[in-house]
Amino acid sequence: MSTQVNFTQFIENVYKCDCKDCILHGYLNKSIKPIQLPHSNPKDVRVVIITEQPKILKNQPVTNENFSQYIRKSSTFDGLEKILGQEFLNSIKNRTGPFYWTHHTKCPNIKRLPQNKCANKYLKTELAQFCNLKLVVSFGSKSFNYISQHIIQDKNQPKLLDYFYELLVTHIKSNHVDKYSFEINDKNISYLSLPHPSPANPLKELNIKIKSSITASINNAIKST
């Protein structure tokens, strides 16, 4: 079975999510459940971006169909574009290329309630769909906490701030960012976790400070075979 067929089936399974104890069920009248973006060729994906959850903009629920139209107005997306560049924007807009964007919590909700149930059910399986994946970049503590505890299984349970501080020190000393790594499909995948790019997060500016190191990590992933 080809990667494309596997990925298509995965997308359909998420669309038909049958989770009965979802924390967001009480708000379904204001939720679109769930958000899961397609990609025309998952074999092209080298970098997966993970943020907390899709956003509802001015009472306009974001859906799979209008995602590119409405998310472009989001301040979070502006922050991602500044850090990740034009190629990220093109990949998400056209559903092609080396980038793929997903979420820790797949059900957007006006109360912005994150939950691990989505990640437990889908995240590791989702990452396994990309046979040429080289790098995972997550933004925010929810994604970092889940990946470090449940995929990397770091018994020290580090906090994002401590991890990111080490990245800053390494960047200042050598202009190179050290990353965690974990195995998917019996392959070693590099992992980089960054502060959330929201304007409400004062640490977002530090992402720009180490942008050259982030860009180098992404370029290495995209160019690797």
Identify the CATH number of the domain in which residue 87 sits. 3.40.470.10
Q: What is the pLDDT of residues 196-206, one digit of tens each?
A: 888 788 788 88
Domain count, the chain: 1
Q: Does position 71 have pLDDT exceeding 60, yes or no?
A: yes
Amino acid at 168: L
- pLDDT top residue among 118 and 177: 118
CA distance 18 to 88: 31
Q: What is the mean pLDDT of residues 87-109?
A: 88
Average pLDDT, the chain: 80
Burial 159-188 (b: 16+ CB within 10 A, else e): ebeebbeebeebbeeeeebbbbebebeeee
Q: Predicted confidence band at 212 (pLDDT cuts at 50, 70, 90)?
A: confident
Q: Predicted confidence band at 1 (pLDDT cuts at 50, 70, 90)?
A: very low
Q: What is the mean pLDDT of residues 68-74?
A: 65
Of 42-46, 47-51, 115-119, the poorest mean pLDDT is in 115-119
Q: Does position 25 have pLDDT exceeding 60, yes or no?
A: no
CA distance 217 to 219: 6
For the chain, what is the HEC assignment?
Answer: CCHHHHHHHHHHHHHCCCCCCCCCHHHHHHCCCCCCCCCCCHHHCCEEEEECCCCCECCECCCCCCHHHHHCCCHHHHHHHHHHCHHHHHHHHHCCCCEEEEECCCCCCCCCCCCHHHHHHHHHHHHCCCCCCCEEEEECHHHHHHHHHHHCCCCCCCCHHHHHHHHHHHHHHHCCCCCEEEEECCEEEEEEEECCCCCCCCCHHHHHHCHHHHHHHHHHHHHCC
- pLDDT top residue among 174 and 215: 215
Q: What's the pLDDT at 102?
A: 92
CB 53 within 8 A of CB 62: no
CB 149 within 8 A of CB 157: yes
Burial (0-12, 13-18, 19+ Cβ within 10 Å), 124: middle
Q: What is the mean pLDDT of residues 130-147?
A: 91
Q: What is the mean pLDDT of residues 130-143?
A: 92
Q: Predicted confidence band at 8 (pLDDT cuts at 50, 70, 90)?
A: confident
Q: What domain range includes position 179? A: 3-223
Percentage of residues of the chain with pLDDT beyond 90:
22
Phi/psi of residue 115, nearest 5 degrees: -150, 145
**Which residue in 197, 224, 219, 198 sits closest to 87, CA to CA?**
219
Q: What's the pLDDT at 131?
A: 93
Listing from the earlier edge strand, what are the strands of the sheet with 180-184?
99-103, 47-51, 135-139, 187-194, 180-184
**Strand 180-184 to strand 99-103: parallel, antiparallel, or no bridges (unpaired)?**
unpaired
135: β partners: 47, 190
Q: What is the pLDDT of residues 139-192, one digit of tens each?
A: 988 888 888 888 888 877 778 877 777 777 776 666 555 567 889 988 999 998
